[in-house]
Copies of this chain bind each other. A is one copy, B any other.
Amino acid sequence: MFDNSSAEPFAKGLVQVFTGDGRGKTTAALGTVIRALGHGLKVCIIYFIKGDSPSGERSILSQLPNVTVLSYGSGEFIDPANVKPKEKEQAEQALTAAREAMLGGNYNIVVLDEVNLAAAWKLIEVDEIIRLIKDKPQNVELILTGRQADTKIVQNADLVTEMLKIKHSYDKGISARMGIEY
């Protein structure tokens, strides 16, 4: 279906972080995935928090070749001040899946969606993420998204972008819209 003749994976994969309160963290990772798929690269996306909630991107991704989507978490509200054992367990499972995807040799790019927030909420330990980064094979690109990226994560990344909210009409009371925000 796709012309993969140009596929020639990069030799040096980096660690990218998209963080900040602004829009575009998950969508920037998603756009990067689409671009990579267009070049015939292989991608694994691991959702740490969003779970199986219906979401437009998954409907498309599930029909594209060379991309695996793994979802963890219930998609329900998590209270950072009162994290449940079940929630920690699911995030730990996501982390295990991330390690397997990264080390298994089947993917050029591994995306860890909301992993920064999972660490900020103490669903997983920051040090576990740092260990993952340090164990990254040279030819794998690792992309971490989510608000509140820990300083240690920033220090260990190659590319860090903060999405800064300059103006946001949610503040004017417009609620999330299907097809745009989810």
Is A162 a contact partner of B161 (Cβ separation < 8 A)?
no
From A32-40, A74-82, A114-122, the one touching the partner chain is A32-40
A159 touches B23 (CB 8 A): yes
Q: Nearest residue in B to A36 (C-beta to C-beta)? A: B179
- How many chain A residues touch B (Cβ–Cβ < 8 Å)? 65
Among A59-67, A90-98, A99-107, A124-132, the stretch in contact with B: A59-67
Q: How far is the CA of A40 from the CA of B40 in the complex (A)?
A: 25
Q: Is A157 an interface residue (CB 8 A)?
A: yes
Contact of A59 among B39, B57, B59 (CB under 8 A): B39
**Chain B CB within 10 Å, residue with most, of A8, A10, A60, A180:** A180
- Number of copies of chain A assembled together: 2
Cβ of A172 to closest chain B Cβ, rounded Å: 8
Q: Identify A32's interface contact among B1, B27, B61, B163, CB under 8 A.
A: B27
- Cα-based distance from A22 to B179 in the complex (angstroms): 25
Are A38 and B24 within 8 A (Cβ)? no
Residues of B within 8 A of A32 (CB): 24, 27, 180
Of the candidates B18, B31, B54, B160, which one forms a contact with A34 in the assembled complex, judged by CB atoms under 8 Å apart? B31
Q: A14-B174, A23-B16, A30-B30 are in contact. Are A59 and B154 (CB under 8 A)?
A: no
**Which of A20, A22, A28, A162 has the most CB atoms of chain B within a 10 A radius of its CB?**
A28
Q: Knowing A167-B157, A169-B159, A179-B108 are in contact, say whether A31-B23 is a contact too (CB < 8 A).
A: no
Instruction: List CB contacts (< 8 Å) of A138-174 with chain B.
Output: 141, 154, 157-169, 174
